[in-house]
Amino acid sequence: MAALRVLVGVKRVIDFAVKVRVAPGGAGVQTQGVKHGLNPFCEIALEEAVRLREAGAAQEVIAASLGTRASQETLRTALAVGADRAVLAEVAEGVATGPREAAAALAALVGRLQPHLVLLGKQAIDDDCNQTGQLLAAMLDWPQGTFASGLQLEAGAVRVQREVDGGLETLRLRLPAVLTADLRLNEPRYATLPNIMKAKKKPLEVIPAAELGVPAGAPRLKVLQVQEPPPRAAGEKVDDVRALLDKLRHSGRI
């Protein structure tokens, strides 16, 4: 089986350990002065691509992202984890992007880089978006395997295991293909200090998103309002089951 070139789409998000705060006015969440990192599902996709290269099935792993200049930090993390090079489709600060814009940027990069396989996380933890992989497959007219919990490369194809409501589903897709990684695909590694230092010397190309044909203007998805969840009401103790039933009836729960 010939060695493959794998393109991994990654996204910069607020770190999963940070408590999310609503921005003034409720137009979104507070991002200024907040720690950011690599989207956890993108970490899984990247780990799988690096494992394919380490096994000799892939010859090159390229990390790509759509975002502002700050996304270079996320791509450097991807390089430290094991990507060979990175590409940033850069947008100006304050420009809103969504799954359609990300898919358009990745589709243009596919035309330039000619990968055999595209790996993405199944969703982003900041907006819960899980449409980018599907949109990209539609734009490229490639087969897709979403929510992959296992994959195995074959001659000119990839066998994908997916978790569905009824159990497990196995697909065999002809390459090139688009895959999105589920939580159980693998356990991502941590970037070691020596690899973080080496990542500074790896190539990172910055391309204006407009050159890649990313749609200009407002994205089709628009956040109308973000608000904090209502505070939980204090608990109340009751003496016995009869008192509990009376409370539930009085509150209209039963």
Rg from Cα positions in the chain: 22
State the average pLDDT for the chain.
89
Q: Which domains does the chain have, with CATH numbers?
A: 4-250 (3.40.50.620)
Distance of CA 106 to the CA centre of its chain: 13
The DSSP letter of residue 28 is S
Quick one: pLDDT band at residue 95, thresholds 50, 70, 90? confident
Q: How confident is the model at residue 16 (pLDDT cuts 50, 70, 90)?
A: confident
Taking alpha carbons only, the member of 30, 96, 28 closest to residue 66 is 96
Q: By C-alpha distance, which of 81, 126, 129, 108 is closest to 213?
A: 108
Global pTM reads: 0.84
Report residue 83 as tokens: 């990507």
pLDDT band at 66 (very low <50, low <70, confident <90, very high): very high
The pLDDT score that the predictor gives to residue 128 is 66
Tens digits of per-residue pLDDT, 162-203?
988 888 999 999 999 999 999 999 999 999 999 999 999 999
SS3 (DSSP) at 251: coil
pLDDT at 2 over 70: no
Asked which of 129-138, 163-172, 203-212, 223-232 is least confident by mean pLDDT, the reply is 223-232
Higher pLDDT, 126 or 248: 248
**Strands annotated E in 128-222:** 144-154, 157-164, 167-174, 177-181, 204-208
Asked if residues 127 and 12 have their Cβ atoms less than 8 Å apart, the reply is no
